[in-house]
Amino acid sequence: MDEAAFRHLYDRTARPLRAYLMRSCGDLALADDLLQETYLRMLRSGFEGEDDNHRKNYLYRIATNLLRDHFRRLKPESNEVPERDESPGHDEAVHLRSDVGGAMAELAPRDRQMLWLAYVEGASHQEIAKALGLRTASIRSMLFRARQRLAKQLQARGLRPALEVS
């Protein structure tokens, strides 16, 4: 891969990848560090990939491994996204965002990653299994349970399907 190809890949994938890292670890500075490390590892590995989708999946797999290493180093109780700011002046959009962030923070890191990969990135069960180091056959049921837990958290924050679906 030459520098131009790398820049093209970076421009196309870095922002959504940072969003994934950010939502998984809850810290923008850390997400940026992990983002850089992800691309560095990809370049060092010499991975070329068959197409953009293949390269994207590879990046998410590296990022997920880095997140796993990060969470292993942390104590379980510190493995959470900070709670939302309750101070006045936050508009509805900010509250909705922090509500989703807060709800996600209540889930286990693996649930957060699984939900994000499945419903934001549109990854297949096989791709999720590869990224998370799980068996493909168990993804469907795990995803279903993770979804139930997130829905419960969202509903506890006053979010209802009728309000969200346009």
Partner 1 sequence: MNSQSKPCPYEEAVTAAARSGFWSPELSAHRDSCLTCAEFTLVLAALAADAEELAAIDAPLPDPAPIWLRARLASRERDYHRATRAIVWVQRAAVGVVFGIGVAFAPGLWEKLSGAFSGLSFSFSAPDLPRAAGSPLLVLVVSILVLGGLALWELTAAQEN
Q: How many chain residues touch partner 1 (CB under 8 A)?
A: 45
Alpha helices by DSSP H, listed for 26-160, are: 28-45, 52-73, 92-105, 109-119, 125-132, 136-156
Q: Is 12 in the site for partner 1 (CB under 8 A)?
A: no
Q: Least distance (Å) from partner 1 to the CB of residue 103? A: 7
Query: Which residue, chain included where needed, has tokens 């969200």?
Result: 164
Figure out which of the listed residues 14, 30, 49, 68 binds partner 1, where binding follows CB under 8 A: 14
Binding mask 99-128 for partner 1 (x = CB under 8 A): xxx-xx----------xx--xx--------
Please state, in angstroms and rounded to a whole number, the distance separating the CA atoms of residues 18 and 64.
12
Rounded (10°) CA dihedral 107, 108, 114, 120: 40
Here the tokens at position 140 are 């469907």
Here the tokens at position 149 are 């837990």
Q: Is 90 in the site for partner 1 (CB under 8 A)?
A: no
Chain contacts with partner 1 (rule: CB under 8 A): 3, 6-7, 10, 14-16, 18-19, 22-23, 28, 32, 35-36, 39-40, 43-44, 93, 96-97, 99-101, 103-104, 115-116, 119-120, 140, 144, 147-148, 150-151, 154-155, 159-161, 164-166
